[in-house]
Each structure stands twice: as structure tokens, then as C-alpha cells.
Structure 1
């Protein structure tokens, strides 16, 4: 009986790991971001890389909201600056999404604490 329970538990753990591996295999990165993560991995900090990975799923939405003119303007500025820290337009959009989310959460927390001035500053 114990052997059967151990086999079932082992099979469940294997299934969980296999499911996570399959889930991650379906994730496709935008070409620009994939290159930036490879090439720029040595030029960015661990925190910057973590922020990029958190925000990469929201980067296409941010780029659409920015519009093609603004995206081209940001791309040109980054290229002229030499892509500091491996920064690309997709990385910029990913970080912008994360920082916007953090700012919004912080502003709501300040609003709940009754600190209206700080909440307005964080929303801006």
C-alpha cells in the first residue's frame, strides 16, 4: 500500500514538472526582446532582467498604446544612445508596464492611507 502511494506521489510530482516545462515551451518572445535578453544579459542587472521578464507579456500592449510614431521616436533615441544596458524598444515597453503597475498600486495604497498629495503624485 505504501509503495503504491509513493508511486502515485512520484507520478504527480513528475506530472507537475512536465506541465511546467510544457507551459514554458509555448512562450514565444518577440525577436527584439529575445536578442536583447541574449546579448544584453551581461549588460543589465539582475533586477533589470527580472523586471523585463515580468513585463514582457505586457510589452506588445504598451507598444500599441504608444503608437507607431512614438515607438519609432523611442527606438531612434535608444539607438542614438547606443542601447545602454542592452535596452531595446521591447525592453523599454516591458519596464514601462511594470513601473506603471507599481506606481498605480503605490498610489492606491497612499490613497487608502489618506495621503492624497502622494497619491496624486504617484498617479501622475
Structure 2
């Protein structure tokens, strides 16, 4: 019977992601060689291959705040800021171009004109968040 440690060591050998290396020569076509060894894949190389998730989120945040700055309607701008703080930049990037229309506190209804189907679906799915944001200004909603 094998020990647990040796089985874990064997499993660790199979967890390495393959990387591709192109080896061009003058007389032959480029070949692709798969390398599965942990020794060949340095941590620095692996970090270069994967994008930094924090940087991508920061880029989305900057884009979202830039979009919010372009909104003319102060009420819609405030709602989008609430969405940014509660749900993150992806939510704002989906709906910032939409427009607030008429709303009725009696029917608890608000009209929002959406530019895309994706924005429309988002508004329908998260209407309670938008209504919650409007509730500060219109408690009857």
C-alpha cells in the first residue's frame, strides 16, 4: 500500500498546465512542443502568461466612472453611482447609456429606455436595486 504523501506527489505532477514553445528553424516548419515539467515553467513565466485580474478590474472601474461622468441626468447619474458601489463596474457598463423616463409612485413603476437587449435584461433582473436607489428620493416607490 502506497503512502498518502507519495500519492499526493504523483498527483502534483499532473496538475501542471501545458505551455507551448515554438521552435522555428531555417530548413523546417515551426514545430510545437508541449512541456509538462514543473522545472521548465518558472513562476515568472506563468505570471507573464496570465493577465493581472486586479488591473482588469481597475480598468473597468475607470471606464465605468468615465461613463458616469458623461451622464447628463443627475438622478440617473446618482443611480449609476449606487450601482457601481453595490454591484461593481460591469453593471454600470451595461446600463449607463439608458435613460430614465416617467415613473409613478402609485403603480410603483418606472420607465427606463435601454439601448441594448443586454441592458434591458439587466434592468429587468435588478429592478429592485434601481428602485431601492430611487427610494431615497421617492419614499413612495
* TM-score, normalization by structure 2: 0.30
Larger relative helix fraction = 1
Bigger-Rg structure (1/2): 2
Select the structure that is richer in strand.
Answer: 2
**TM-score, length-scaled by structure 1:** 0.33
